[in-house]
Amino acid sequence: MATHPDAVLVAGAGGFIGGHLMAALRADGIPVRGVDVKPVDEWYQRPEGCETWQLDLSEKGACERAVDGVGEVYNLAADMGGMGFIESHRAECMLSVLINTHLLMAARGSGVQRFFYASSACVYAADKQESPQVLPLREQDAYPAMPEDGYGWEKLFSERMCRHFLEDFGLQTRVARFHNVYGPYGTWNGGREKAPAAICRKVLEAVFSRDHRIEIWGDGKQTRSFMYIDDCIAGIRMITQADSPDPVNLGSSELVSINELVDIVEGIAGVSLDRRYRLDAPQGVRGRNSDNALIQARYGWEPSIALVDGLRETYRWIEAELARERGLQPALGA
């Protein structure tokens, strides 16, 4: 198939970020091919007019089929989830290196012009994240290397591979380090969900059951920043088309504790819950925030959607999903 310079491949299109990216690209009239290992009827979104393929991109031949005829690749495909998942599935997370390796090889062979890789703040050195009052993480803090065991090592290795494919073969690679992306049409139960979705679900379960208790993993003092999906998609597209190949943080700099996150969701729901702290549960590093100096200097931009606004949209979507699952009517929050 001849390469269409405007056509793009979204790898991991059946997932949360991939589904939103596919929808945004197609809305702008861009020909989109979405690929995921999951059956197509299990994808979070299937925008009209997109190609939707089920392929296992850990296999080299599948990657060669997937990139055939496209000019750009967005690699969002990985075996991952929230902290509860990545701390107990380290080998599975590391096997995602096969996806990026084979996609890079296939992209080089087929004449792909640009290749975006979705990395993670989990690449950052753990000794810089030991306090809830953490200093924001700068891009250079990834070295000396001491990333999150398993998932973080895979991300850091794949970043380096993107760099060397640019240096050795001229493939224009771009890398963004995501900081906790959240929003509607994402995982909200089952163990792979991240903190914003988990907290929304737990608050909603308390509302629906009228048992006003909530279990919080850790002591609630651990801190994070959370980026709404619309900001993430805008950042991905901007970074992919830019000139600089060096990894850049893509995350909000609005730091909150998990307790403060619960406060916000309780305010949206109009409830106050009895908090039960599970100190033996996975909770990751004590503090993590995005230093946005580089993305501001390089692009004059950074994520800007306030956490309370993004959480309100996320809460309402999960509320509708949970109500539908239970055959109930949503009791919309404030």
Q: For the residues of 308-327, what is the DSSP string, one character each?
A: HHHHHHHHHHHHHHHHHHHT
The pLDDT of 142-169, averaged and rounded, is 93
Beta bridge partners of 36: 54
Structural domain includes residue 334:
no
Peptide linkage before 147 cis (omega within 30 of 0) = no
Q: How many residues does the chain have?
A: 334
The pairs formed by 162-169 with CB atoms below 8 angstroms and a separation of 24 or more are: 162/100, 162/104, 162/115, 162/117, 162/245, 163/245, 165/104, 165/108, 165/115, 166/245, 169/108
Q: Is pLDDT at 2 greater than 80 in this prediction?
A: no
For residue 211, the domain's CATH number is 3.90.25.10
Q: For position 133, what pLDDT does the model report?
A: 76
Same-domain check for residues 68 and 210: no
The total of other beta-carbon atoms located within 10 Å of residue 72's CB is: 24
Same-domain check for residues 48 and 175: yes
Q: For position 334, what pLDDT does the model report?
A: 40
258-269 and 195-209 are packed helices; what angle lies between their axes, rounded to 10 degrees?
Answer: 40
φ/ψ of 214, rounded to 5, equals: -140, 135
Catalytic residue among 151, 185, 228, 315: 151
> What's the start-to-end Cα distance of the chain, in Å?
52
What is each CA distance from 64 to 18, 52, 154, in whole angstroms? Answer: 19, 16, 22
Tokens at 6, concatenated? 């405007």
Structural domain includes residue 296:
no
Structural domain includes residue 234:
yes
Same-domain check for residues 119 and 165: yes
Same-domain check for residues 240 and 274: no
The closest of 39, 154, 60, 141 to 107, measured between CA atoms, is 60
Structural domain includes residue 119:
yes
The pLDDT of 262-275, averaged and rounded, is 96
For residue 126, the domain's CATH number is 3.40.50.720
Beta bridge partners of 276: 215
Q: Is pLDDT at 331 greater than 70 in this prediction?
A: no
**Is position 151 annotated as part of the catalytic site?**
yes
Beta bridge partners of 51: 33
Structural domain includes residue 54:
yes
Same-domain check for residues 18 and 115: yes
Check: CB of residue 291 under 8 Å from CB of residue 231: no
Q: Which residue has the higher pLDDT, 311 or 128?
A: 311
Check: CB of residue 313 under 8 Å from CB of residue 251: no
Q: For position 288, what pLDDT does the model report?
A: 85
The pLDDT of 197-214, averaged and rounded, is 94
The closest of 200, 206, 204, 178 to 187, measured between CA atoms, is 200
Q: Is pLDDT at 36 greater than 70 in this prediction?
A: yes
Q: Which residue has the higher pLDDT, 188 or 130?
A: 188
Structural domain includes residue 158:
yes
Structural domain includes residue 197:
yes
Same-domain check for residues 198 and 99: no
Tokens at 163, concatenated? 């760099």
pLDDT range class, residue 3, cuts 50, 70, 90: very low
Please state the domain count of the chain.
Answer: 2
Q: Is pLDDT at 332 greater than 70 in this prediction?
A: no
- What percent of the chain is modeled with pLDDT above 90? 77
Average pLDDT over the chain reads 91
The pLDDT of 264-285, averaged and rounded, is 90
pLDDT tens across 63-117, in order? 999 999 999 999 999 875 555 555 666 788 778 899 999 999 999 999 999 999 9
pLDDT range class, residue 126, cuts 50, 70, 90: confident
Q: For position 231, what pLDDT does the model report?
A: 98
Same-domain check for residues 170 and 35: yes
Q: Which domain holds residue 64?
A: 4-181+227-250
Same-domain check for residues 246 and 108: yes
pLDDT tens across 173-186, in order? 999 999 999 999 98
Same-domain check for residues 16 and 153: yes
Tokens at 23, concatenated? 């929808």
DSSP label at residue 137: B
Same-domain check for residues 164 and 281: no
Q: How many helices (H) and strands (E) does the chain have?
A: 11, 13
Strand 255-257, strand 223-225: pairing: antiparallel
Same-domain check for residues 151 and 100: yes
The pLDDT of 225-248, averaged and rounded, is 97
Structural domain includes residue 294:
no
